[in-house]
A and B are shown apart, each in its own frame.
Chain A
Amino acid sequence: MRRVLLPAALLAALIGLWQIAASTGAIADALNLEPYLVPSPTEIARSLWENRSLLAENAWVTLREMVFGILAAIAVGIGFAVAMHQWRAVRDASYPLIVASQTIPVLVIAPILTVWFGYGIAPKVVIIALVCFFPLTINALDGLRSVEPEAVKMMRSLNASRWQLFRRVEAPTALPHVFTGAKIAVVIAPIGAVFAEWAGSSAGLGHLIQSDAANFEVARQFATVAVLSAIALGLMGLTALTERRVVRWR
């Protein structure tokens, strides 16, 4: 209970402070802004309610992009980790490149991918997968490498084939690490989604934020952010739940 109550209390206190500061106009005055540019939490909540169908429509678009992107990243990340674990040459050749690739900002490649793949869901899935691929690959590889050498000897001595070693020892050992990677992926996926939609889109929460920014719809921008983070938290919870059901031995 304490683990739920304490953050909830802190959140309530922060929202309360914000409510007071915004509704009295203290923030707007301090920043020398029109009051409508600094919406209070109640105004954001009202915007959330009034725009519920618009937000739901766009949330559905972004959720689909994120789910497909994360699933693609899981498939590619695990595949890559297994290949790097199985063949030393693959690891030596690709590991530095994979690390180096992380220095390229998504912001820069998103427009290029939009040029290549158009305005549909494809470039979004690719961009989200690119962002999520790294933590998944690295964690899966760490997991595979954390297998004890003694366990490998034991399995070899008990007639295990390469595949049996993978299925009965390596894969289960790596599984919790894969879930760690998946949780990180789920948290950073919204960033990829928003950048991808900013680079060119006709719908989605990132698209909505962008057009609202142009129209100074600040309350709805906050409402959109709330929806986006709710999606990420939901996916995070789903991942944790799946982990608990799959990794029963922990």
Chain B
Amino acid sequence: MSDEGMLSPYRALDLTDEKGLLCGKILGDLGADVIMIEHPLGNPARRLGPFHHDIPDSENSLYWFAYDTNKRGITLDIEKADGRKLFKRLVERTDFVIESFKPGYMESLGLGYEELEKINPGIIMTSITPFGPGGPYRDYKESDLVLMSLGGLTYISGEPDRPPPRITYPQAYLLSGAYAAVGSMMAFYYRGMTGEGQYVDVSMQECCEWASYFTPEWWDMAQTNLIRAGMWRVFGPAKMRMVYPCKNGYVSCWILAGPVASRGQKRLVEWMNREGMCPDWLRELDFKAWDIFSLGEATQEFLDGMAQAFTDFFLTKTKEELFEFARESELFLAPMSTAKDLFENPQLKARDFWVEVQHPELGATITYPGAFLKSTVASPSIRRRAPLIGEHNEEIYIGELGLPKETLRLLRGAGVI
């Protein structure tokens, strides 16, 4: 297994803000040399909390820490003539350019794909925009909630008697970054065979739409809107409870038909019985007789009764007890983890999932999620923490581009760098 990632021969220039940071992180974690190019005043994503020790400083954003691992950082104002010139020099020796400015912005600066291709025919330029470079919504304003809603996942979430909620931790930007990485790598593979780069256009709305499961299929196939059912999962004519409170939190538990599920469910019922918490009719149920996913002939009343019996029982047990039972008994039950549970999770620990990353500027070592998968050649890894503002200006501008120190000072004073 190599220390150097598989993408180590390659470089990316990352001009994204929070809308696209994950793209460069994925490339960087796979080994690419990713250079985050920020405005001299810092990337707007640095304003996003939470913050290290709750101190809201632009070097303390945990969102920045999480999604800028493996990136070096330089400052550059590409709106300035000298800035654009330096950018073009960097483009000469890069493989990817990733940006999330509004449609047309890079072109307006003479830095659109057509221009960059002239400088470097192999360049892969990925543009992440809320709705794409054209169309009726081209200039529409975005936010996580707006994109997730237009994508369809919001409508199918939550309890029917409340407004549909989003996932509290924003997902739209991460979905966009992840699909942007796929598009970039697709173009990269093509370039590997042909030497030709190309332009990758990522629509954040379409990325969010892909997170809405078979929402569109319900309409296309059955002229029906998929609707939210909260804790209840709709299976054909009946609905079955899927989320249960327990002694110290919540668990997700799927009660299903079929031979696989029936074993675990039977054992659950036996456990309930041993503790004197099982109604007779539940003890006598033949789970195997149900049609998978359609729950056979069970009435809603019957399923409600079952859900109540499980709820009463689960409230006497912790997440950990229930999950241990689930693992031993093949029950489809899992704890609904909090951040604390994740941190303490034995499976993640056993998989060496966590990595300790040095933050000398904070005098701290911070525990991060590590490799996002394992490869026998070279797993993704965290080689460096997210950059400070302009941290690698000297390394890149002087060390690589050969700018004299005085020039760097001048450009810094003039707000170019």
Q: Do A and B come from one complex?
A: no
